[in-house]
């Protein structure tokens, strides 16, 4: 099967995006499964090559049609929208926010035109993009708006640990108000869809409760009985293998033990904390992250989008210390989605 073209956005120039891309593309295994194409700024990528250091070379192209996908060189579409003199590593900068948004817009455009098979996004800084005049809370909302997608959900994963969210970037108070039957049901359906797109024909879906002990039959809240259970029952009537509501303090042990293929959680931290606990490992004695494993995927879009599951890491930007593990996994997962999509298209 032909290696899919994976567009990779550079992210915030003042962060670690360029560095982790270069480190990830230093893995020859990536080129065995994909043709990576970086969408970013040549000046920033070139600077990152100098402080990592790396023997990789930049190969500037105009269109995905020119992608070579050869290990040892990095295919790059240079938007030329920022210079090194415009910013400092590790500092919030509106110019960096604007540049990072332009990389995203270009990648979405290429994906919608089917010139690339998937998009992998480098980390952006929310304060910087807002300073640049863009009112978004994150990548998920950007992709949803630009692709005119109304029904979508974030999935974070670390290999076979997968979690999808009913709510994400809102206050905890607001998240509780948004846990409604229609939305819970929509995410259960998206979870089933996502697993099938990963090649799991009969996915097992765990649905978390919102309250402690999943409400304890109304003693600690009634959202489970009013909203979550009716959504689960409806999904079962549609033939989806959904189970719950399961108390969040036991759900993730079952998920990790492979009793389920994916979990549907009610709010941001309910899903992110256990996933980052398993995927992120910091060693104080070495003052470094030994692992930054995990991928963020937007499910429900007409295009494939995965991302690193960490931020811009301003505290280490420009120093060559960033860990590329999450970027490698994001590329690998994008390839997996792309190949499944291609096989389905051929079968149809």
Domains and CATH numbers, the chain: 1-149+301-348 (3.40.718.10), 152-296 (3.40.718.10)
Give the integer Cα–Cα distance in Å for 23 and 326: 11
| Residue carrying structure tokens 């049609």 | 65
CB atoms within 10 A of CB 344: 11
pTM greater than 0.75? yes
For residue 86, give the DSSP letter. G
Give the integer Cα–Cα distance in Å for 273 and 64: 37
Give the integer Cα–Cα distance in Å for 30 and 172: 39
Q: Which two tokens stand for residue 224?
A: 């489970």
Sign of torsion, CA 243 247 252 254?
negative
pLDDT tens per residue across all 348 residues of the chain: 589 999 999 999 999 999 999 999 999 999 999 999 999 999 999 999 999 988 999 999 999 999 999 999 999 999 999 999 999 999 999 999 999 999 999 999 999 999 999 999 999 999 999 999 999 888 988 999 999 999 898 898 887 789 999 998 889 999 999 999 999 999 999 999 999 988 899 999 999 999 999 888 888 889 999 999 999 999 999 999 999 999 999 999 999 999 999 999 999 999 988 888 876 777 777 776 656 567 889 999 999 999 998 899 999 999 999 989 899 999 999 999 998 887 776 666
CB atoms within 10 A of CB 172: 11
């Amino acid at each position: 099967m032909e290696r899919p073209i994976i567009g990779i956005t550079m992210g915030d120039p003042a962060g670690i995006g360029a560095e982790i891309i270069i480190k990830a593309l230093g893995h020859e295994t990536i080129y065995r499964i994909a043709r990576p194409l970086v969408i970013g700024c040549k000046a920033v990528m070139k600077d990152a090559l100098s402080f990592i250091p790396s023997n990789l070379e930049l190969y500037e192209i105009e269109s995905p049609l020119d992608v070579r996908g050869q290990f040892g060189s990095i295919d790059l579409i240079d938007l030329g929208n920022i210079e090194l003199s415009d910013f400092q590593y590790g500092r919030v900068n509106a110019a960096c926010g604007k540049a990072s948004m332009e990389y995203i817009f270009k990648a979405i455009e290429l994906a919608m035109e089917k010139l690339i098979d998937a998009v992998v996004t480098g980390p952006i800084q929310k304060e910087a993009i807002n300073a640049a005049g863009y009112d978004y809370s994150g990548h998920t909302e950007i992709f949803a708006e630009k692709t005119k997608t109304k029904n979508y959900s974030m999935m974070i994963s670390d290999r076979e640990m997968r979690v999808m969210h009913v709510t994400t970037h809102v206050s905890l108070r607001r998240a509780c108000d948004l846990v409604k039957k229609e939305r819970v049901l929509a995410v259960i359906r998206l979870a089933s869809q996502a697993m099938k797109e990963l090649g799991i024909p009969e996915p097992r879906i765990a649905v978390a409760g919102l309250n402690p002990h999943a409400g304890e039959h109304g003693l600690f809240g009634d959202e489970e009985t009013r909203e979550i259970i009716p959504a689960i029952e409806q999904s079962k009537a549609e033939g989806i293998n959904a189970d719950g509501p399961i108390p969040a303090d036991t759900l993730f042990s079952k998920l990790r033990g492979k009793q389920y293929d994916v979990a549907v959680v009610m709010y941001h931290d309910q899903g992110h904390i256990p996933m980052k606990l398993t995927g992120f490992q910091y060693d104080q004695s070495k003052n470094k992250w030994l692992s930054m494993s995990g991928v963020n995927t937007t499910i429900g879009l007409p295009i494939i989008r995965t991302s690193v599951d960490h931020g811009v890491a301003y505290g280490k930007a420009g120093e060559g210390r960033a860990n590329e593990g999450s970027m490698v996994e994001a590329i690998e997962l994008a390839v997996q989605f792309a190949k499944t999509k291609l096989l389905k298209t051929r079968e149809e």
